[in-house]
Amino acid sequence: SKPWLTFFCCQLIALSGVSERRRGLAQEKMTENGVFSRDKVLTIDTMNPTVKNVEYAVRGPIVQRAIQIEKELREGVKKPFTEVIKANIGDAHAMGQQPITFFRQVLALCSYPELLNENMFPEDAKNRARRILQACGGGSVGAYSASQGIDCVRQDVARYIERRDGGVPCDPDNVYLTTGASDGIVTMLKLLVCGEGASRTGVMISIPQYPLYSAALAELGAVQVNYYLNEEKCWSMDLSELERSLAEARKHCNPKALCIINPGNPTGQVQSRQCIEDVIRFAAKERLFLMADEVYQDNVYAEGCQFHSFKKVLFELGPEYSDNVELASFHSTSKCYMGECGFRGGYMEVINMDPEVQAQLSKLVSVRLCPPVPGQALMDLVVNSPQPGEPSHTTFMKERTATLSLLAEKAKLTEQILNTVPGITCNPVQGAMYSFPNISLPEKSIKEAKALGQAPDMFYCMKLLEETGICLVPGSGFGQKDGTYHFRSGHPSLLKHFITAFHILRWV
Amino acid sequence: SKPWLTFFCCQLIALSGVSERRRGLAQEKMTENGVFSRDKVLTIDTMNPTVKNVEYAVRGPIVQRAIQIEKELREGVKKPFTEVIKANIGDAHAMGQQPITFFRQVLALCSYPELLNENMFPEDAKNRARRILQACGGGSVGAYSASQGIDCVRQDVARYIERRDGGVPCDPDNVYLTTGASDGIVTMLKLLVCGEGASRTGVMISIPQYPLYSAALAELGAVQVNYYLNEEKCWSMDLSELERSLAEARKHCNPKALCIINPGNPTGQVQSRQCIEDVIRFAAKERLFLMADEVYQDNVYAEGCQFHSFKKVLFELGPEYSDNVELASFHSTSKCYMGECGFRGGYMEVINMDPEVQAQLSKLVSVRLCPPVPGQALMDLVVNSPQPGEPSHTTFMKERTATLSLLAEKAKLTEQILNTVPGITCNPVQGAMYSFPNISLPEKSIKEAKALGQAPDMFYCMKLLEETGICLVPGSGFGQKDGTYHFRSGHPSLLKHFITAFHILRWV
């Protein structure tokens, strides 16, 4: 930005004889502005090529443009709207969801234990905080925990899983606390990937998928094996499609794992018990390691739908399956009624993992020292929430129910509103936190997009952002059947939602 | 654990005809106990081989045994000691260091903003909390932040760096908040690694090193290029050794980066300004990307020693260097006077990074969504601590000074005590948080260790643990010159420290 200054300095260096030494520097050149500059050591051509293959649409170009527009609005640039509505991400608190009072009280007590002497906190909050602090080195959440997570938190997680799954036993030694679910998923994929060429590890993921999976697989250089969800049947999983996908993949790689997101992201379906059973039998027959992403396990809205954990169904199928099928399941503090994304709390449970591999897993997680301790504390509160008879129970239940009802209401409204828009078809949102409607785009727009080298739904979402301030993620970021177009929308607050629909209506 | 139950179930399955379906399962076998079992999909032979190569001594076998011993003590097993003293890790709070009151007040306020209405908190704590909350989506630390970190925190970090470096400019866009320093270091290494065979990326690291580096390089399949610190000259860096190491490495890989830990871990040296200058000139001449791990920047104890950031020295060398040499520097909330390891806060600053590569870096960090927000808040407080005139300033300074003095005192005492033990020689601990003394082991012990297939210093540390309860990390976990033996010891509280020395004395 100050070429004259650099030029002046360079002249000075040249005069002072420093230029003698400079001759030793390789690949240097004089630019137009008189600045000496070398080629960089690290360039787009010399960097890790697998990193270049990573794509993550949820925070991709649309979101970057949205951030720019927000800045322009602050600077007074006139737009047809006054506010950017970020529906690109499932970020509940950013959308106005209130945190659970009890959780935040305990976290404040853990952060500043002096507060244990104050009368303003209920006894159960204080007891939870004392218990967590006692489990921390030096009684401080500022100490490292064990790499696998604080012992008593893992025990509480195990008891939670047992309750959830009707008594199926859970060994705390199989529970690993994580930095959000993403961390656990990437760690598991890392263990699985090996081989080269036709024996390279393949990992089956649904299309549409949550792009963490494609991003992690690209980074690890694994083969992404797509199986398509059936949009006509409310995004269900078809056994025949799994079979087709696997047979296809076996021609060019070694498929070793099958990932399922239930309730679905971005597609919002909740899988039936029968479907989960079929998937488990398929995995057993075909020798696939199962990865069940169950972070939306409390987000089930549609009547007749119910969350079934893969683990529970696995054990109900009998020891033939429960003794053999390898499963990792993931949970998080970021979704459900908590929505505490910023704390990066989560856990994974591994089932039937080879003990030698599990020792390697334990070693691997130790390199990163430990998951954030406040996130571990929060995970503990989620799995060990106020019980009937405890002073915070009533408020906790009221807040939890209100949040889940509001989420259910928004899901229903979104579906209804989107389906009133010509050209948009939205499946029932049975669970999770998003809609993933199908959009018919005019031939003209598709051509215009292709001329610009853009995916047509990216073109659509970009236009929508520029004209209405609504930030969505194009379906191409999640994957979709060729020739179909979608977007993923989070469920912002009701009023904003109507505005969204109104604007979409104008544009299609 | 219940073989009879499994056996019974298997019989039931066989009778019920399920066994028909079982024939479809590949590689199944009947074990001694009558349990049907398949080979696992994921075994030690089929898992990612680079993960197997990872070693991380700081949480390795010694620490695992220490945890077992703690359990045995709780169960009443008699030992020659009553408590395990964990000196294996720089975990200040676990060793009794007290958190900074101001930091914890602000964190409590951020966690539970209701507390902003209470009179018990000083105004400056409330103001900091309000500012952080305003920068969070929905005013909640439970919202995701931008992937690079909260804007205003990155701005505060940039101003801190400018103050620290005597006005050298820092662009907040070059600051990335991280999940502890480890996260930043691994991310940078990930960008750098590429190529195969003789063109595979090599990364130069000091020996002894902090094993995060060797672990990350093993996982990424990069080539670890060792340069040895000079123990005779208080673990200084010799230019001739850098040259030897590089020339050697170029025969079999493509060395692209040079990592420096200053103040040193595990070796506790503080590099002179001259040394840093030499290293920068060397990196410029040899075209190496510099990675400066500066997490102990406030932990400087020895008289005549001073912390010089690589960035400051880089800029003082003039535009020939400051316009060209690529540098990433790392800081953390875990060390210095804070010791807040559990929050996993940190930042990295990148300098002269190719803009295309930086765009890739920004994309890469977005996949993990964001660093933990409480850790980001804490990082903000560290770089934006109470100022003179603010109500918390006096207490903050008192606490900060007391902690740093105590750390300095412990460092001095450790060095003195260790040097009174026959067979142990300890360099002056100029900074950081560890001693790394040289131990002469009796020929008999070395033979005994080798017969057991153990590194002799691992054998020593294991004996020490079993006989005295003191948990240290053997030098072999950090690397050392062949035929020399060391251990790394954190600096536990004073009394414990004397006991440590006493026991070591008995055993050597």
Per residue in A456-486, pLDDT tens? Answer: 999 999 988 998 888 889 999 999 999 999 9
pLDDT at A454 over 60: yes
CATH topology for B54-96+397-507?
A: Aspartate Aminotransferase, domain 1 (3.90.1150)
Q: Does A105 touch chain B (CB under 8 A)?
A: yes
Q: Which residue does chain B place closest to A40, by CA atoms?
A: B354
CB contact under 8 A, B44 and A95: no
Q: Do residues B335 and B97 lie in contact, with contact meaning Cβ atoms separated by under 8 Å?
A: no
What span, in angstroms and rounded, lies between the C-alpha atoms of B473 and B488?
A: 5
Predicted confidence at residue B7, as pLDDT, reads: 43
Residue-wise pLDDT tens digits, A378-393: 999 999 999 999 999 9
pLDDT > 70? residue A238: yes
Taking the CA of residue B305 and the nearest CA in chain A, the distance in Å comes to 28
Output the CA–CA distances (angstroms, integers) from residue B403 to A162, B309, B380, B406, B429, in the order listed: 45, 22, 20, 5, 17
- Give the per-residue pLDDT at A502: 56
Let me know: does A301 contact A336? Beta carbons within 8 Å. Answer: no
Q: What is the pLDDT of residue B504?
A: 60
Q: What kind of fold does domain B145-383 have according to CATH?
A: Aspartate Aminotransferase; domain 2 (3.40.640)
Helix (H, G, I), strand (E, B) or coil at B38: strand
Task: Tell me the pLDDT of chain A averaged across its residues.
Answer: 89
CB contact under 8 A, A67 and B146: yes
Structure tokens at A437: 């409607």
Q: Is A488 helix (H, G, I), strand (E, B) or coil?
A: strand
Fold of A166-342: Aspartate Aminotransferase; domain 2 (3.40.640)
Q: Residues in chain B with pLDDT < 70? A: 1-37, 492-508
Q: CA-to-CA distance for B329 and A454, rounded, in angstroms? A: 37
Biggest CA-to-CA distance, chain A? 84
Task: State how far the Cα of A124 lies from the Cα of A139, in Å rounded to an integer.
Answer: 18
DSSP for B76-97?
A: T---S-SS-EE-SS--TGGGTP
- The distance in angstroms from the start CA to the end CA of chain A is 44
Place of tokens 């960089």: A40
Which residues in chain A are contacts of B46 at CB distance < 8 A?
Answer: 194, 256
Q: Find residues 154-193 of chain A whose CB sits inside 8 Å of chain B.
A: 179-180, 182-183, 186, 190-193
What integer pLDDT is reported at residue B36 of this predicted model? Answer: 55
A57-96+397-507 carries CATH number 2.60.120.650: no
User: Which positions in chain B touch A344 (Cβ < 8 Å)?
Assistant: 179, 369-373
- The alpha-carbon gap from B444 to the nearest alpha carbon of chain A, in Å, equals 32
Better-scored residue on pLDDT, A11 or A155:
A155
> What is the sign, positive or negative, of the torsion defined by CA atoms of B53, B56, B59, B60?
positive
**Residues in B touching A219 (Cβ below 8 Å):** 190, 364, 367
The pLDDT of residue A30 is 56
Chain B positions touching A109 (Cβ under 8 A) are: 108
pLDDT at B32: 54
Cβ-Cβ pairs closer than 8 A, A with B, add up to 347
Q: Which of B10, B40, B138 has its CB closest to that of A319?
A: B10
Point out the residue among A91, A114, A344 whose CB comes nearest to the CB of B137: A91
Mutant choice from A196, A344, A370 vs B, greatest count of B C-beta within 10 A = A344
CA distance A297 to chain B (A): 19
What pLDDT does residue A64 have? 86
Domain segments of chain B as ranges: 3-39, 54-96+397-507, 98-143, 145-383
- Using a CB-CB cut-off of 8 Å, the residues of chain A touching B49 are 194
- With CA atoms as reference, the chain B residue closest to A220 would be B220
Tokens read off for A140: 């401080």
Nearest to B323 among A35, A193, A367 (CB): A35
- pLDDT confidence of residue B14: 40
Per-residue pLDDT averaged across A119-148, rounded? 96
Q: Specify the 3-state DSSP secondary structure of B345.
A: strand
Q: Which of B22, B46, B191 sits opposite A48 (nearest CB)?
A: B191
- Of B40, B58, B367, nearest to A354 by CB-CB distance is B40
Going by C-beta distance under 8 Å and a sequence separation of 6 or more, which residues neighbour residue B65? Answer: B462, B465, B466
pLDDT of residue B2: 47
Q: Do B343 and A146 touch (CB under 8 A)?
A: no
Q: Which residues of A touch B70 (CB under 8 A)?
A: none
Intrachain domains A57-96+397-507 and A166-342 with the same fold: no
Percent of chain A at pLDDT above 70? Answer: 89
Q: By C-alpha distance, which of B137, B133, B134, B159 is closest to B146?
A: B137
> If contacts are CB pairs under 8 Å, which of residues 61-100 in chain B contact chain A?
67, 89, 91-97, 99
- Asked if A47's CB is within 8 angstroms of B360's CB, the reply is yes
Contacts of A28 in chain B (CB under 8 A): 324
The helix (run of H) or strand (run of E) holding residue B133 is helix B123-134
Say if CB A316 and CB A70 are below 8 A apart: no
Using a CB-CB cut-off of 8 Å, the residues of chain B touching A363 are: 54-56, 60
Task: Check pLDDT > 50 for residue A18.
Answer: no
- Cβ–Cβ contact A152 with B under 8 A: no
User: Is A342 within 8 Å of B99 when comparing Cβ atoms?
Assistant: no
Q: Give the pLDDT confidence score for residue A14 in this predicted structure.
A: 40
CA-only gyration radius of chain A, Å? 26
Q: Alpha-carbon distance B101 to A332, whole Å?
A: 30
Q: Give just the sign of the alpha carbon dihedral B250, B253, B257, B258.
A: negative
**Is B52 in the A-facing interface, judged by CB distances under 8 Å?**
yes
Q: Looking at the complex, does the CB of residue B10 fall below 8 Å from at least one CB of chain A?
A: yes
How confident is the model at residue B176, as a pLDDT?
98
SS3 B30: strand
Give B217's contacts in chain A (Cβ within 8 Å). none
User: Minimal Cα–Cα distance from B192 to chain A, Å?
Assistant: 5
Window A:343-372, CB contacts with B under 8 Å: 343-344, 352-354, 356-357, 360, 363-364, 366-372
- Give Cα A237 to chain centroid, integer Å: 20
**Which residue is closest to B145 within chain A, CA to CA?**
A342
- Chain A closest-CA separation from residue B248 CA (Å): 20
Are B192 and A318 an interchain contact pair (Cβ–Cβ within 8 Å)? no
Q: DSSP string spanning A144-191?
A: ---TT--HHHHHHHHHHHHHHTTT----GGGEEEEEHHHHHHHHHHHH
Instruction: Using CB atoms within 10 Å of the CB of residue B98, give its burial: 0 to 12 exposed, 13 to 18 middle, 19+ buried.
Output: middle
- The reply to whether B202 touches chain A by the CB within 8 Å rule is no
How is B199-267 classified by DSSP, letter by letter? GSEEEEEEES--THHHHHHHHHTPEEEEEE-BGGGTTBPPHHHHHHHHHHHHTTSEEEEEEEESS-TTT
Q: How far is B320 from chain A (nearest CA, A)?
A: 7
Nearest CA in chain B to A192: B47
Inform me whether the pLDDT recorded for A3 exceeds 50.
Answer: no
Closest residue, chain B, to A23 (C-alpha): B285
Chain A: residue whose CA lies nearest to B55: A363
| Whether A112 and B104 lie within 8 Å, measured CB to CB | yes
Q: In the CATH scheme, what is the code of domain B98-143?
A: 1.10.287.1970
Residues of B in contact with A44 (CB under 8 A): 354, 356-357, 360
Nearest to B299 by CA among B92, B494, B160, B87: B92
Q: Does B451 touch chain A (CB under 8 A)?
A: no
CB contact under 8 A, A353 and B42: yes
Please state, for a pLDDT cut of 90, what percent of chain A lies above it.
Answer: 71
Q: Do B182 and A367 touch (CB under 8 A)?
A: yes
Which one of A56, A101, A112 makes the best mutation probe of the B interface by having the most chain B beta carbons within 10 Å? A112
Contact B344 A142 (CB under 8 A): no
- β-strands B487-490, B473-474: how paired? antiparallel
Question: Using 50, 70 and 90 to split pLDDT, how confident is the model at A503?
Answer: low
Distance CA(B11)–CA(B5), nearest Å, equals 10
Q: How many residues does this entry show for chain B?
A: 508
Q: How does strand B254-261 pair with strand B201-207?
A: parallel
Residue B467 is predicted with a pLDDT of 86
Tell me which chain B residues have a C-beta less than 8 angstroms from the C-beta of A27.
287
Rounded to the nearest 10 degrees, the angle between the axes of helix B151-164 and helix B123-134 is 120
Is residue A4's pLDDT more than 60?
no
Do B108 and A91 make contact, defined as CB atoms within 8 angstroms?
Answer: no
* CB contact B41 to A (< 8 Å): yes
ipTM of this complex: 0.89
Distance from CA of A502 to the nearest CA of B (A): 24
